[in-house]
Amino acid sequence: MKSRVLFLCTGNSARSQMAEGWLRHLAGEQFEVYSAGTHPVGLNPGSIEAMAEVGIDISGHRSKHVSEFVTQPFDHVITVCDRAKESCPTWSGPTHLSHWSFDDPAGATDSDEARRNLFRRVRDEIFKRIKTFLTQDGTPLLPRAR
């Protein structure tokens, strides 16, 4: 049985969407991957563009409210922003909670090029963290038996 992972942030527009895309791309055969927000605002075009640059299409994703998932079991719930960590709901069952803090590229007000670069940097930071998540002490992380 596949392990279930939920990435959670505030707007479910950038960081959690990119994390969902990365994990599906790298290990979708091992995990059921979802993302949601505490206050979803819609998928940010900058997220789509940044992920497309590395060959991952998240254009079909949609912003979802965390309430869609609170009654579902998850093996891992990972908050990717500080505000979501503070307001993360309680999960029943054997859920491993983690927090990965990333800058919010969706909130950038810089020039277009600086904003694109911020999306790229956060995308790459998420990639590195996902790679770490997939290995523990050099051993691949495998789904738990239920």
Q: Which of 9, 51, 77, 106 is catalytic?
A: 9
CATH number of the structural domain spanning residue 89? 3.40.50.2300
Q: pLDDT by residue (tens digit) across 11-59?
A: 999 999 999 999 999 999 999 999 999 999 999 999 999 999 999 999 9
Residue 62 lies in a domain: yes
pLDDT at 144: 45
Q: pLDDT by residue (tens digit) across 74-119?
A: 999 999 987 665 665 666 666 788 889 999 998 777 788 999 999 9
Q: Which of 54, 88, 97, 134 is catalytic?
A: 88
Q: pLDDT by residue (tens digit) across 24-34?
A: 999 999 999 99
Q: Is 88 an active-site residue?
A: yes
Residue 71 lies in a domain: yes
Residue 44 lies in a domain: yes
- Looking at the structure of the chain, the number of domains it has is 1
Give ∠ CA 119-28-3 in degrees, rounded to 5. 110
Would the pTM count as exceeding 0.75? Answer: yes
Residue 146 lies in a domain: no
Q: What does 101-117 look like in DSSP terms, one character per residue? A: ----GGG--S-HHHHHH
Residue 145 lies in a domain: no
Tell me the residue range of the domain where 15 lies.
3-140
Would you say 74 and 44 are in contact if contact means Cβ atoms under 8 Å apart?
no
Q: Which of 81, 84, 108, 130 is catalytic?
A: 81
